[in-house]
Amino acid sequence: MSTTTSTLPPEFQDNMESIRIMGFWIFLTTDLVLFGSLFAVYVVFRSLVGLGPTPHQLFVIGPVLTETLILLTSSFTCSLSLYSARINRVPGAIAWLIVTLGLGMSFVLLEIHEFASDVLNGHTWHQSAFLSAFFTLVGTHGGHVSVGVGWAIMLAIQIGLKGLTLTTRRKLYAFALYWHFLDIVWIFIFTVVYLSGIA
Q: Is 97 in the site for other proteins (CB under 8 A)?
A: no
Closest contact distance (angstroms) between CB of 24 and other proteins is: 9
Question: Amino acid letter at 145?
Answer: V
Closest contact distance (angstroms) between CB of 55 and other proteins is: 14
**Environment class of 29 (CB within 10 Å of its CB; exposed 0-12, middle 13-18, buried 19+):** exposed
Q: Which residues between 131 and 160 bind other proteins (CB under 8 A)?
A: 131-133, 135-136, 150, 154, 158
- Interacting residue with other proteins among 110, 129, 177, 192 (CB under 8 A): 129
Q: Is 163 in the site for other proteins (CB under 8 A)?
A: no
Q: Is 167 in the site for other proteins (CB under 8 A)?
A: yes
Closest contact distance (angstroms) between CB of 173 and other proteins is: 15
Stretch that binds other proteins, among 39-47, 63-71, 87-95, 99-107 (CB under 8 A): 39-47
Closest contact distance (angstroms) between CB of 128 and other proteins is: 5
**Given the rule CB under 8 A, which residues bind other proteins?**
19-20, 22-23, 26-27, 29-31, 33-34, 36-38, 41, 44-45, 48-52, 124-133, 135-136, 150, 154, 158, 167, 171
